[in-house]
Structures are given as C-alpha cells and as structure tokens.
Amino acid sequence: MALPMAATITAPAASAATAISASSSLPCTPKVIKIQGHNAAVNCGPATATLHLGGKTYTFRNGFCQQSKSAGSALILDLGTIVSGVKGNAGQADFSMLIGSVHSLASVLGADYGGKDLLGGESLINVVGSIPSKGTFTSKVTVGARFTGSWNCHGVVWKGP
C-alpha cells in the first residue's frame, strides 16, 4: 500500500449523480512513524470498510480513496496502518483494496486485524455500487474462506496522477 502522491481532493458530493468539484487542499496528511523499530504508514481520512469473514465482522477506519489516472482511473482504498517487515503487521489494523477501471478487475490486496493476516494474501472480488464513492464486494476466488464487505469513501476521493 502506497501513500498518496501529490494529488487533488474532490469535495463531498450531495449524491452519486452530483458532479464532484475539485479542491487543491488535502484533508489530512498520512504520517510515517516507527512501530517496533520499523517504518509504518499511518493513513488518515474519512474512508471506512467492513469485512465479514468466518462469522466475524471487522471494521477498518482512517483511510483514503484515490483514483489514479495512470492506472486507468482505478480506485485504490487504503485504511489503517501498514508496518513494513513485521509479522502480523505489528498488531495494527490495515485494509487495502483495488478496483480497476473495468470493475471485473478488483481485489482485496490485504487485510490485517489484531495481529492476523485475515485473508492470507490477495483475493479477487466482485464489486457493485456507486464506484468510486461506495459499494459492496464479495469474494470471487480466494485461498481461504469466502467473505463479503463494503466500503465508503464518505465523499472524499483523491484524484491522483
């Protein structure tokens, strides 16, 4: 999961059909800190996601949604904290998802919670909703158990390079 590069943020929309106006200011700046002596990226922003897996529900907060023009307007969702090189992500909650410009190309890249890698790696998903702002997903092909979930950018989508 990468920290956003210089980007433009869109203002919250009244509805999915409403045009989004651009603003040059970011609502927050992700922080790079040390956790257990390792670099960690602490995301920020209003985005949330929920993952339902094995009869449990996991909620992820403090993140951002980014649409990248260089990646064909793909949506990248990063929530929580990612710690480099530490097993179990140092106990930090972290969620990352990628939805391609062709929505059949979508995957949950990773989900860590309470020191556990919930999915064991990247999992392909089916997505529906008001992309990029919010929607639901269902596992399509996965190594482990099937899962479902949802995401909400809460009206904030960074337009990246």
CATH number, domain at 141? 2.40.128
In a domain, 127, yes or no: yes
C-alpha span between 91 and 70 (Å, rounded): 33
Higher pLDDT, 9 or 45: 45
pLDDT class of 67 with cuts at 50, 70, 90: confident
C-alpha span between 64 and 82 (Å, rounded): 13
pLDDT of residue 72: 67
Mean pLDDT of 66-77: 78
In a domain, 13, yes or no: no
In a domain, 23, yes or no: no
Domain count, the chain: 1
Q: What is the pLDDT of residues 73-106, one digit of tens each?
A: 788 899 999 999 898 999 999 999 999 877 678 9
Q: What is the pLDDT of residues 4-23, one digit of tens each?
A: 332 222 223 222 222 233 33
Beta pairing class for 158-160 and 56-68? parallel
In a domain, 95, yes or no: yes
In a domain, 15, yes or no: no
C-alpha span between 13 and 31 (Å, rounded): 27
* Residue 97 near residue 137 (C-beta atoms within 8 A): yes
Give the domain range for residue 116. Answer: 29-160
In a domain, 16, yes or no: no
